[in-house]
């Protein structure tokens, strides 16, 4: 879409809730902040907030956050200058620090979902929202705010030995506009569900890096290349 500006992204991995993770949150935070060449260092995150079962790394303006709970590891980021460069930079650190280190060092298991959100702003309504607005205007008058969300499920079972998984992908598309003066936000949330859950992160097919890069490629082909 010519009227689209990419504004941010979020990485996330969810596990079955583990109370043993709660005891490790402080150490996990230290690993994220102080690992060698970490992009999640104190230059990005100046504050640590939370309680006994949730820790949140954030900056003074609450623009960027890294939230760790008993079952979630979510990094939410807003672009500073260049989307592609910053996406690659933070994905590399997420992979190296989380999936290759913390998940193994602290025996984090039972992974049941990968998530990757791409955030953008539309300077004008796309074709789909234009049609929705026509329907709203015809029946109720012009909308002041708008919130619309739908999802598409794609089942992708895998055969592992004699067993067949019930794995599937879920793609959630969201439009959000708080009022007539607000920008029209457009988000796509790519998710991969593992059923049954994975015992260890190395069992993931695709791995988290490939999952994100595949979703990024799909987003660009669907929303940045096809509509001129």
Structure tokens, 86: 């910053």
Q: Which residues contact 34 (CB under 8 A, 6 or more apart)?
A: 41
Average of per-residue pLDDT across 86-91: 98
**Strand-pair category, 159-160 with 163-164:** antiparallel
Average of per-residue pLDDT across 82-102: 97
Would the pTM of this model clear 0.85, i.e. be above it? yes
- The percent of residues above 90 in pLDDT, for the chain, comes to 72
Provide the domain count of the chain.
1
Provide the domain limits for residue 206: 4-225
pLDDT per position as a tens digit, 2-14: 689 999 999 999 9
Helix (H, G, I), strand (E, B) or coil at 155: strand
More confident residue, 158 or 80: 80
- Rounded CA-CA distance 115/55 in Å is 19
Structure tokens, 111: 């992974």
- Rounded CA-CA distance 30/133 in Å is 48
Question: What pLDDT, on the 0 to 100 scale, is given for residue 143?
Answer: 66
**139 close to 105: Cβ distance less than 8 angstroms:** no
pLDDT per position as a tens digit, 128-186: 888 887 877 766 666 678 889 999 999 887 776 677 889 999 999 999 998 878 899 99
């Amino acid at each position: 879409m010519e009227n689209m500006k990419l504004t941010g992204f979020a990485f996330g991995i969810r596990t079955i809730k583990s109370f043993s993770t709660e005891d490790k949150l402080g150490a996990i935070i230290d690993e994220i902040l102080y690992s060698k060449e970490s992009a999640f260092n104190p230059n990005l995150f100046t504050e640590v907030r939370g309680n006994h079962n949730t820790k949140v790394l954030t900056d003074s303006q609450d623009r960027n956050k890294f939230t760790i709970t008993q079952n979630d590891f979510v990094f939410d980021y807003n672009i500073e200058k260049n989307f592609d460069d910053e996406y690659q930079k933070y994905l590399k650190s997420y992979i190296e620090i989380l999936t290759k280190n913390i998940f193994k060092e602290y025996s984090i298991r039972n992974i049941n979902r990968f998530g990757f959100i791409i955030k953008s702003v539309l300077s004008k309504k796309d074709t789909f929202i234009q049609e929705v607005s026509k329907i709203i205007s015809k029946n109720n008058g012009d909308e002041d705010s708008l919130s619309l969300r739908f999802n598409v499920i794609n089942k992708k079972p895998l055969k592992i030995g004699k067993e067949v998984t019930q794995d599937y992908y879920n793609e959630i598309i969201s439009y959000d506009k708080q009022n007539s003066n607000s920008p029209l936000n457009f988000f796509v949330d790519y998710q991969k569900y593992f059923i049954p859950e994975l015992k260890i992160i190395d069992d993931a097919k695709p791995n988290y890096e490939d999952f994100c890069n595949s979703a990024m490629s799909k987003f660009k082909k669907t929303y940045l290349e096809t509509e001129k």
